[in-house]
Amino acid sequence: MGVIILNYYRNLHIAAAALAVFMLLCGCTQIDESVPVDATAVTEEEEKNYPVTIGSLVFNSTPENAASLSPAVTEIAAELGFSDKLIGRSSYCTYPESITSLDTLGSAAYPDVDAIIEKAPQLLISQSPIAKKDITAIEASGTRVLIIPAPSSVSGLYELYSDIYRVFNGASAEEESVLNSIFEPLEKEFEADKDLLGSYVYILSPDLAIASDSTFAGDFFSHMGTNAAADRTDNTITAEELAELDPDCLILPPSMDTDDLPEELSDLSAVKSGNVIILDDTSAELLERPTSRIYLAAQYVSECAAHFGSENTAENEAVSEEIDNSEE
C-alpha cells in the first residue's frame, strides 16, 4: 500500500511540475476556454496553492461554496474538513449525519435544476454523469460543474481524495501527510490481511455475475487474496467453470447465501468447509461508493475469515453487529 501512495505522489508531482512549466511558457492558466474558469480574487495565502486543474476545470482559488450530488464526494469533503463549504447535497447523501441538514438538490440522474439554480453554488460536483441539457442550464446560471469519476481501484480512491482536497485547498505541501493519516487504518488492515483469503471469487448475484479486478470491489479484495476468476473479462462465470476453479473462499452480497447458488456448487470446497463470507450492508455499500471507511469492509472480511471452517452465516451477522457498534 505504501508503494501505491509513493508512486501516486511521485507521478503527481512530476505531472504538476511539467504543467507549471507549460503554463509559464504559454502565459496562461486556462486549459479549455469553453469551460468557465473561477475568477474569484486570489489572496496571498491562496496564491501558494493555486491554480490547480481538476478534471476539465481550472481553479484559481478555493470555491466560496459548493454542492455535491455524490454521497462519496459529500462524505469525503466533510472528512477533509470542508463541511462549511457545502450548501447542498443529493437525496442519497446521508453520511455523516451532520450534512443531512443541507438542502437536497435531486440526484445526478435527476438533478433538481431549478433548486440548484436558486441555491446558486459556485461549484456542483458529481461522480455520475449529468444530462448535457441540465449541465448547460446549470452552467448558464453561473455554477461550474465538475464530474469526478468514481474510482475503480484502491489507488484511485487516493486520487479521488487528492482531487477533492485540491479543489478546496489547492496543491498544498500538507496534502500527502493528510491523506496518509486518513488511510492509515486501511493500510494496516491490508498489511495484516495479506493473502488472508487465499483464492476467492466474489459472486454478485445468483446468476453468477462476478466482480473482476477492473472494478473497485475486485481490486479491493485482491489486496487480501487472489481472484481465482481474474481472467474472466465479461464479469460472468458458469457453474461448471466455478466448480473447476474450486476457490478457497466465496464472497457473497448481503442479499445472497449459499442456498442461492446453483445446486451443483454445493460440493465446492469453500461451501463444504464453511469458507463463505456474506457481506453486511455497510461493507457492500462502501464497495459500491468507497470512501476511507472502506477499512470497515476489510475489518469485516478479516473477522469473518477468522470463523472459516464453520457454518458461518450466524457468525457473519454477529461480526456485522460488532463492527457497526464499534463505528458508533
Per-residue HEC secondary structure of 161-206 comes to HHHHHHHHHCCCCCHHHHHHHHCHHHHHHHHHCCCCCCEEEEECCC
* Residue 325, pLDDT score: 52
* Residue 92, pLDDT score: 94
Look at 169 and 5; give whichever has higher pLDDT.
169
The residue behind cell 461493507 is 283
* Residue 18, pLDDT score: 43
| Mean predicted confidence (pLDDT) in 252-267 | 94
Round to whole Å and give the CA distance between 192 and 185: 11
Round to whole Å and give the CA distance between 187 and 195: 14
What percent of the chain has pLDDT above 90? 71
- Residue 10 pLDDT > 70: no
| Mean predicted confidence (pLDDT) in 318-322 | 50
pLDDT tens digits, 150-190: 999 999 999 999 999 999 999 999 999 999 999 988 888 88
Number of CB atoms found within 10 A of residue 121's CB: 24
Residue 275 one-letter amino acid: N
CB 315 within 8 A of CB 323: no
pLDDT range class, residue 14, cuts 50, 70, 90: very low
* Residue 24, pLDDT score: 38
Q: How far apart are the first and last CA of the chain?
A: 27
| Mean predicted confidence (pLDDT) in 42-66 | 85
* Residue 127, pLDDT score: 96
**Order of strands, edge to edge, in the sheet holding 199-202?**
226-227, 199-202, 249-252, 276-278
Question: Residues 8, 9, 14, 18: is their CA dihedral positive or negative?
Answer: positive
- Residue 42 pLDDT > 70: no
pLDDT tens digits, 66-113: 999 999 999 999 999 999 999 999 999 999 999 999 999 999 999 999
The residue behind cell 464479469 is 235
Round to whole Å and give the CA distance between 73 and 150: 9
Round to whole Å and give the CA distance between 40 and 2: 37
- What is the DSSP code (8-state) at residue 111? B
- Residue 34 pLDDT > 50: no
* Residue 192, pLDDT score: 82
- Residue 43 pLDDT > 80: no
Share the mean pLDDT of the chain.
Answer: 84
Quick one: how far is CA 320 from the chain centroid? 21
pLDDT tens digits, 179-233: 999 998 888 888 888 889 999 999 999 999 999 888 999 999 999 999 999 888 7
Quick one: how far is CA 153 from the chain centroid? 8
Q: 9: phi > 0 → left, psi -120 to 50 → alpha, else beta; which?
A: alpha
pLDDT range class, residue 35, cuts 50, 70, 90: very low
pLDDT range class, residue 316, cuts 50, 70, 90: low
* Residue 301, pLDDT score: 94
| Mean predicted confidence (pLDDT) in 262-272 | 94
What's the pTM value of the predicted model, to 2 decimals? 0.80
CB 264 within 8 A of CB 239: yes
* Residue 222, pLDDT score: 92
Domains of the chain by start residue, with CATH: 2-182 (3.40.50.1980), 192-327 (3.40.50.1980)
| Mean predicted confidence (pLDDT) in 4-8 | 46
